[in-house]
Amino acid sequence: MFKKVSSSSVCDWTGALPESCIVVLNGWGFTADVWQAFSGYIGREVFVASVPDNQVFSDVWLTQLGESIPKSAHLIAWSIGVKFASALWMQGVRWQTTSLVSGTTKFIREDGLGLRALDFKKFARRVDRGGESARQYFAALVAHGCERKVQPVEYLQSDLENYSKALEVLAENEEPARFSNPVVEVVGDRDVMVACESSGVSTALRVIRGAAHQLPLAFARELSDIIKAQISQEDYRQRIAESFGRAAARYDQVAELQQRVAKKLITSHAFSGGELVLDVGCGTGYLSQLILEKSGVKPVGVDISAQMIDRYSQRGFTGYVADAESLPFADGSVDVIVSSLAIQWCAFPERVFKEFRRVLKPSGRVVLATLADGTLCELQRAADQSQLGRRINRFPPIEDWCRFAESAEFAVEMASYNEGVSAKTFTQLLRHLRDIGANCVIGGDRAALNRGEIDRWGQALATLCKGGFNTTYHVVEIELT
């Protein structure tokens, strides 16, 4: 079922797929070899499932395919592979990340770019006749408009007529699955088979200029860069989830600053019975509990950490393990979104606001607190003086938070203030960051510090703070309508 593809070889793969591997659902008519250049650029082997011939293609094949995909896999679906990925997701198959490349669940369309029904029928008749003319015609179709003259014929099956059964699936327009894992869509702006637009399953659309349908072949480097970034972002999400998961058990005892911010956030806001209030980054449920006690409204929560959701559920709330960039709620279904000191941990906060806009009702509103540039600045300044590199997260400046919200067509009101944290020793201050899960640094130095470096860092902070161990959180309150 799978071929293991590297930059230098293609061979059959038997047995279970490795954990966290890259799985490719190949485009119709192509052999696994078309992914060799991509494998070289991404620096990893990929495991390619090509569309089988008429004797093998069936619902049984699709079921077996789904059973073979590890939950930790990074899945790439190209062309017709997008339809198979959507079908598998609807059947309950899960994997870690989804990359939809030059594909859709609705290939046949009469408006804009895409295959028109009449053209598809002509193509299907060519395939039925078989022979070299069918291969040349299909190769010209997938390469049409591409600014890089790469010939795909040598990567096509020699007998396309024996793959006509799977081709029938292409003509069936279906609603796409709503993937709840991180999704990126990649299209070429010159693709004549697929419209250069999002299918609506994600807010992450990447358009490669000058590219046609044959992205894995002609634009392998650009495609690999996009997918490498996606996998890296998911690795970061996992680190964030693990960091806050470790903090869950003691969070309520140590998160004094977070509780002060939450109380300030809801002081001037009212919540009405019958409203669906969504607490994004709900943690253990402190903010939801405040809302319940104040108004009698029981929010629903989402958090990236399963351990946090366990604690949230113990308070009697309904919670879901989910990413703020991909909320498990229907379009226009939420009345109010609340969030306190959560979205600053998202890899792409601008996508969060677009997701807020998607799930909110037209009359809905957002009330949130987040962190801005200047947060923990004393700690980073001391690290710089000690030549220890980036040890504290960079947070967006206030202007960027405003821009993110406005790009999602929100009207924005903002206010900011500082909250301080003090400790008797430097070790206690670092423990504060660890205990609230805030010790996961994006793009920072990952190497652990030795005792001498930690002492040097603490001494630099004590000098900056005139003998104390203090740091500041720059809090931004945002109301969106």
Span 341-387, pLDDT tens digits: 999 988 888 889 999 999 999 999 999 999 999 998 999 899 889 88
The reported pLDDT for the residue numbered 113 is 63
Q: Cβ distance 31 to 157 under 8 Å?
A: yes
Residue 276 confidence (pLDDT): 97
Any idea what the Cα angle at residue 470 is, between residues 464 and 244, rounded to 5°?
Answer: 130
Q: Does residue 173 or residue 477 have the better pLDDT?
A: 477
> At which of 175, 201, 235 does a domain end?
235
Same-domain status, 181 and 267: no
Q: Is residue 392 part of a domain?
A: yes
Query: Above 60 in pLDDT, residue 278?
Result: yes
Q: In the beta sheet, which residues pair with residue 46?
A: 5, 22
d(CA 223, CA 35): 11
What is the reported pLDDT for 102? 92
Is residue 434 scored above 80 in pLDDT?
Answer: no
How many separate domains does the chain show? 2
Are residues 294 and 419 both part of a single domain? yes
CA 80 from chain centre, in angstroms, equals 22
* Interatomic CA distance for residues 285 and 313, integer angstroms: 8
Nearest to 117 by CA among 129, 125, 128, 109: 109
Q: Check if the beta carbon of residue 94 is closer than 8 Å to that of residue 71.
A: yes
DSSP 8-state code for residue 115: B
CATH of the domain at 158: 3.40.50.1820
Please give the helix or strand (H or E) that residue 338 lies within, else none: strand 334-340
Residue 441: give its domain's CATH number.
Answer: 3.40.50.150
Q: Is the pLDDT of residue 444 over 70?
A: no
Yes or no: say if 224 and 186 are a contact pair by the CB < 8 Å rule: no
What is the per-residue pLDDT across 328-337, written as a single tens digit (0 to 9) for each? 999 999 999 9
CA 288 to chain centre: 25
Domain that holds residue 96: 2-235
Q: Rg of the chain's alpha carbons, rounded to an integer?
A: 25
Residues 281 and 195 in one domain: no
What's the order of all strands across the beta sheet hosting 300-303? 318-321, 300-303, 277-280, 334-340, 360-371, 469-480, 412-423
Residue at 346 is within a domain = yes
Q: What is the chain's mean pLDDT, rounded?
A: 90
Residue 419 CA to chain centroid, in angstroms? 31
Strands (E) in 342-436, as ranges, are 360-371, 412-423
Residues 230 and 259 occupy one common structural domain: no
Q: Is the CB of residue 86 less than 8 Å from the CB of residue 105?
A: yes
**Would 445 be classed as within a structural domain?**
yes
Tens digits of per-residue pLDDT, 160-202? Answer: 999 999 988 888 888 888 888 889 999 999 998 887 776 666 6
The verdict on 276 and 228 lying in the same domain is no
Amino acid code (one letter) for 132: E
Do 224 and 42 meet the contact criterion of CB atoms below 8 Å apart? yes
What is the spatial distance between Cα 478 and Cα 352, in angstroms, rounded to a whole number? 14
Q: Report the distance separating Cα 95 and Cα 84, nearest Å.
A: 14
Domain assignment present for residue 314? The answer is yes
Shared domain for 67 and 34, answered yes or no, is yes
pLDDT of residue 347: 80
Q: Tokens 């949230």 label which residue?
A: 312
Q: In this predicted structure, what is the pLDDT of residue 240?
A: 82
One domain, residues 162 and 261: no
362 in a structural domain: yes
Per-residue model confidence (pLDDT) at position 354: 94
Q: Are residues 260 and 390 in the same domain?
A: yes
Quick one: pLDDT at residue 252? 84
243 in a structural domain: no
- On whether both 80 and 218 belong to a single domain, the answer is yes
Asked if residue 247 is part of any domain, the answer here is no
User: Do 148 and 37 belong together in one domain?
Assistant: yes
Assess whether pLDDT exceeds 80 at residue 108: no
Find the largest Cα–Cα distance for the chain. 85
Asked if pLDDT for residue 66 goes beyond 60, the answer is yes
- 394 & 275 share domain: yes
Q: Are residues 135 and 198 in the same domain?
A: yes
Q: How much is the pTM?
A: 0.67
* Residue 276 resides in a domain: yes
